[in-house]
Structure 1
Amino acid sequence: MTLANNNKQRIALFLALLFHISGAIGMLFTPYRQWFIDNTPLNLVLMAALLVYTQDGKNTSFWLFAVLCFITGITVEIIGVNTGYLFGDYAYGNVMGMKVYNVPLLIGITWFTTIFCAGIIMHSISIWVMQKMAGAPQPSKAVQFFSFVTDAALLATLFDWVMEPVAIELQFWQWVPAGEIPLFNYICWLAISAGLLTVFRLMKFRKDNLFAVHLLIIQLLFFLVLQTFL
Structure 2
Amino acid sequence: MALEQASEQVRSVDAGPVRVLGVAFLLAMTACQMVSGLDARPERFTGAIVALLAACALAFAAAVWGPARAAGAFGGAVLTGYAAEVAGVLTGFPFGDYAYGDVLWPQAGGVPVAVAVAWGGMGLAAYAVAAAVVPVPGWRRIAVGAGALTAWDLFLDPQMVRMGLWTWAEDGPYRGVPLSNYAGWLLVSALVMLVVQRFAGDREPGYGLPALYTVMAVMETIGFLAVFQPPDPLVAAAGGITMGAFAAPAWRRLWQR
Normalised by the length of structure 1, the TM-score is: 0.80
Query: Alignment RMSD, CA only?
Result: 2.3
Whether contact under 8 Å (2:145, 2:193) holds in the other structure is yes
- Work out the number of aligned pairs and report it: 208
Aligned match of 2:29: 16
Which among 74, 81, 92 is matched to residue 82 of structure 2?
74
Shift of 1:209: 4.4
Q: Which amino acid aligns with 2:155?
A: V
Q: Which amino acid aligns with 1:159?
A: W
Q: Is 1:4 the equivalent of 2:13?
A: no
Which among 84, 103, 120 is matched to residue 112 of structure 1?
120
Which among 98, 101, 108 is matched to residue 93 of structure 1?
101
Q: Which amino acid aligns with 2:40?
A: R
| Greater Cα offset, 203-212 or 192-201 | 203-212
Q: Is 1:172 the equivalent of 2:165?
A: yes
CA distance in 2, matches of 1:102, 1:6: 35
Which among 49, 52, 55 is matched to residue 46 of structure 1?
52
Aligned match of 2:199: 203
| Greater Cα offset, 5-14 or 40-49 | 5-14
Sort the Cα spacing of 1:81 and 1:49 in 2 relative to 1 into closer, same or farther, 3 A: same
Whether contact under 8 Å (2:77, 2:196) holds in the other structure is no
Secondary structure in 1 matching 2:138: helix
Secondary structure in 2 matching 1:203: helix
Q: Is 1:102 the equivalent of 2:115?
A: no
Q: Deviations over 1:119-146 (max 9, x none)?
A: 011212334xxxxxxxxxxxxx6xx622
Whether contact under 8 Å (2:26, 2:52) holds in the other structure is no
Sort the Cα spacing of 1:221 and 1:96 in 2 relative to 1 into closer, same or farther, 3 A: farther
Shift of 1:14: 2.3
Q: Which amino acid aligns with 2:190?
A: A
Shift of 1:59: 4.0
Shift of 1:97: 1.0
Shift of 1:78: 0.9
Secondary structure in 2 matching 1:91: strand
Q: Deviations over 1:165-190 (max 9, x none)?
A: 11111112111124631211111111
Q: Is 1:37 the equivalent of 2:70?
A: no
Q: Which amino acid aligns with 1:89?
A: D
Whether contact under 8 Å (2:78, 2:120) holds in the other structure is yes
Q: Which amino acid aligns with 1:199?
A: V
Structure 2 unmatched ranges of 5 or more: 1-11, 230-257
Aligned match of 2:241: none
Secondary structure in 1 matching 2:104: coil
Aligned match of 1:225: 222
Aligned match of 2:180: 184
Secondary structure in 2 matching 1:184: helix
Q: Which amino acid aligns with 2:85?
A: E
Normalised by the length of structure 2, the TM-score is: 0.72
Q: Which has the higher contact order (CA 8 A, sep 6+)?
A: 1
Q: Which amino acid aligns with 1:99?
A: Q
Whether contact under 8 Å (1:152, 1:194) holds in the other structure is yes
Shift of 1:194: 1.0
Whether contact under 8 Å (1:13, 1:211) holds in the other structure is no
Which among 138, 148, 156 is matched to residue 149 of structure 2?
156
Q: Deviations over 1:15-72 (max 9, x none)?
A: 2322222322x1xxxxx321x3212111111221222233225343332222221111
Q: Which amino acid aligns with 2:28?
A: L
Structure 1 unmatched ranges of 5 or more: 27-31, 128-140
Secondary structure in 2 matching 1:50: helix
Identity %: 20
